Amino acid sequence: MFFPLKDENPTKTFPYMTILIICINCLIFLIELFLGKYRDYFVAKYGVIPFEITHGVDMNPKVLLGPYVTLVTSLFLHGGFFHLLGNMWFLWIFGNNIEDVVGHFKFIIFYLLGGIVASLLQIAVSASSTIPVIGASGAVSAILGAYILEFPRARVKTLAFIFIFITVISVPAGVFIGIWFFIQLISSLGRAASNVAWYAHIGGFIFGLLTIKIFRKREGYKKYRVY
């Protein structure tokens, strides 16, 4: 088991949009907590429900644009504190560098599209499910897919749990993210009905891999020299 602490990869610009996304997610999570017993209704209303998308129907009263708008709103909901913390921590470590690569405005577009594509793959493998799919992990996975191409040799300080030992190691981002993706693939096998949206993680990651070159800045952007 391993968990990233930080990457040794400085940015050239301040990550305004990364911080904004983190703040919005935290604010909405606080709203969820304050809703108390109405929280389940809130999640059903703004979470993406595969059956609604594949059948074009509303099982619950929705906001404008019907169930399809939940492909976006679901990205800002979380099922618990550690769900939120994990996603936002990964976003903070890896998102600031990708925001640097693509620019502030395009980063928002990249993030949202990555999350939408991630949700669509999850929907494709669980088309009849009536369980809301929520969380930023699909969009964050798109960032990881972009990062492994842009900064494979950047070092990631990682908290590693090896049997009964706990240590901090520094590994290349390509290795860290590669292991992460392998875990998603293994976990997804025969787990379409799992309470974790493994296929969303895979879909987001593939989106990041395939599209980062399209989103990259055009004004002569160069990668950092990583030591």
Q: Percent of the chain having pLDDT more than 90?
A: 74
In a domain, 168, yes or no: no
Q: 122-149: b or e for each residue (b if 16 or more CB lie within 10 Å)?
A: bbebbeebeebbbbbbbbbbbbbbbbbb
CA 65 to CA 67: how far, in whole Å? 7
Helix (H, G, I), strand (E, B) or coil at 62: coil
Read off the pTM: 0.90
In a domain, 46, yes or no: yes
In a domain, 22, yes or no: yes
In the prediction, which pLDDT does 219 show?
63
In a domain, 94, yes or no: yes
CA 213 to CA 87: how far, in whole Å? 24
In a domain, 166, yes or no: no
pLDDT in tens, 77-98: 999 999 999 999 999 999 999 9
Q: Which of 97-106, 153-162, 197-206 has the lowest mean pLDDT?
A: 153-162
In the prediction, which pLDDT does 56 show?
79
CA 87 to CA 73: how far, in whole Å? 16
Structural domain that includes position 86: 11-151+193-215
Domain at 26, CATH number: 1.20.1540.10
CB of 131 closer than 8 Å to CB of 119 = no
In the prediction, which pLDDT does 188 show?
86
Q: 47-73: b or e for each residue (b if 16 or more CB lie within 10 Å)?
A: bbbbbbbeeeeeebebeeeebeebbbb
Highest mean pLDDT among 51-65, 123-137, 159-173: 123-137
* Domains contained in the chain, number: 1
In the prediction, which pLDDT does 189 show?
83
Helix (H, G, I), strand (E, B) or coil at 106: helix
In a domain, 179, yes or no: no
Residues in Cβ contact with 151 at an 8 Å cutoff, skipping those fewer than 6 apart: 7, 9, 97, 173, 223, 224, 226
Higher pLDDT pick, 199 / 66: 199
In a domain, 163, yes or no: no
Residues in Cβ contact with 175 at an 8 Å cutoff, skipping those fewer than 6 apart: none
In a domain, 110, yes or no: yes
CA 215 to CA 194: how far, in whole Å? 32
pLDDT in tens, 166-212: 889 999 999 999 999 999 999 888 655 567 889 999 999 999 999 99
